[in-house]
Amino acid sequence: MNKKKGFTLIELLVVVAIIGLLATLSIVALNNARARARDAKRIADIKQIQTALELYYNDWATYPGSISSGSAIASGTVYMNQVPNAPTPFDNSGTANCTAANNLYTYAVTGGASQTYTLTYCLGNATGGVAAGLGTATPAGIK
């Protein structure tokens, strides 16, 4: 009797289908992890900018007139060597209304005796207790 050992076509197709399914699931999980990492970086960036602004305020009793991505927050002392850019690509999922145009860190300062600032940013998903979408950070905290 001549018995050949090997896999049948059906067995090979089942294995290929299982490998394809596992690959698809891992790619979806990886993309979700990347989006969460970008949002976590956005929150960390905003907190670092806030810290630099508060250090500046402690020394000068005022906030800087303007800051922009790529520039330093400095006045004799360097409080932040380089203001970071928001990570790309922007994340627009669920209720977030993030777009390429608002995936920026913007800074505005208001004058008067109680000078304050507002930083705006956009999160694709809720992160660390901060809601998804356009958000603001002020001396009072992140919203």
Q: Above 80 in pLDDT, residue 1? A: no
Answer with the residue of higher pLDDT: 95 or 28. Answer: 28
pLDDT in tens, 84-127: 999 988 877 666 678 888 888 999 998 776 689 999 999 888 88
The string of DSSP codes covering 49-102 is HHHHHHHHHHHHSS--S---TTS-EEESEEEES-PPPPPSS----TT----TTT
First to last CA, the chain: 78
Q: Above 90 in pLDDT, residue 50? A: yes
What is the pLDDT, as a whole number, of residue 84?
Answer: 95
What is the pLDDT, as a whole number, of residue 63?
Answer: 92
Q: Which long-range contacts (CB under 8 A, 24 or more apart) does 24-28 make?
A: none
Token duo for residue 14: 């089942």
CA distance 61 to 28: 48
Answer with the residue of higher pLDDT: 6 or 109. Answer: 109
Q: Above 70 in pLDDT, residue 40? A: yes
Q: Which long-range contacts (CB under 8 A, 24 or more apart) does 30-34 make?
A: none
User: What is the average pLDDT value for the chain, to the nearest integer?
Assistant: 88
